[in-house]
Amino acid sequence: MTRLATPPHHGGLLVVQPLRHRRCAACRRGPLSLLVLEDGAPRCLQCADLGHLVFLRRGDTALTRRSREESTLSAVVVRFNRRKARYERQGVLVEEAALARAEARCLADAEARRRRRARDAKLRAAQDVRFTRAFAAEILRLFPGCPAERALAIATHASVRGSGRVGRSAAGRSLAEGAVVSAVVAGVRHVDTPYDQLLMSGVPRYEARRRIAGTVEAVLRTWEAGVEVRLTG
């Protein structure tokens, strides 16, 4: 019988996924999908007293770790990689009840993470609402003639989380006057002028901005000179 080289191992039980068909040296059962080497001779899991264990494929680190923690008896499963000339871990063998307990622990953690994500999302949404209203209030302070609904629309657009717009910049988050004015100018440009149509017709961006600059300036002057309007609620 051809003897198999024992793969290197640093402690604990080791099970091999053979690349060639092998039979158990004790009971002659085969071909074996998994085997244990004893003095270089293959043994099936039944003869090695590991037949009651179940295979858990590698990939889920938390589940693997917890399965081994819960299992009184466990083994590491390896397979030889010819291209790399080394044995590589494929998973573990653990007790079925231990795997069930580990899965329950992981599911509990997943549910806890889901609830935490929901709480965090709710918190971020509340923060976004407060920030948007603060941004809108600052717009109205600088431009008291701006209609309240326009101020809120401009603030909402400028402060969308993850948008990269001026409201999410460091200056925007601190409600710096320059950032607030930039958001208002952009809002006026897109809503109160033919800027978008000019771009769609092929007019270069800088030329389009030049053409609508007077209109933007007129709107801003009107809003600056207007009677203060406050957000309610």
Segment 80-129, tens digit of pLDDT: 998 988 899 999 999 999 999 999 999 988 888 888 888 888 888 898 88
Segment 33-92, tens digit of pLDDT: 999 998 889 999 999 999 899 999 998 999 999 999 999 999 999 999 989 888 999 999
Band of residue 227 on the pLDDT scale cut at 50, 70, 90:
very low
Calpha distance 58→64 (Å, rounded): 7
Segment 130-139, tens digit of pLDDT: 989 999 999 9
List the beta bridge partners of residue 75: 13, 93
User: What DSSP designation does 163 have?
Assistant: S
**pTM for the model:** 0.54
Among 145, 66, 132, smallest CA distance to 100 is for 66
Among 49, 61, 44, 50, smallest CA distance to 93 is for 50
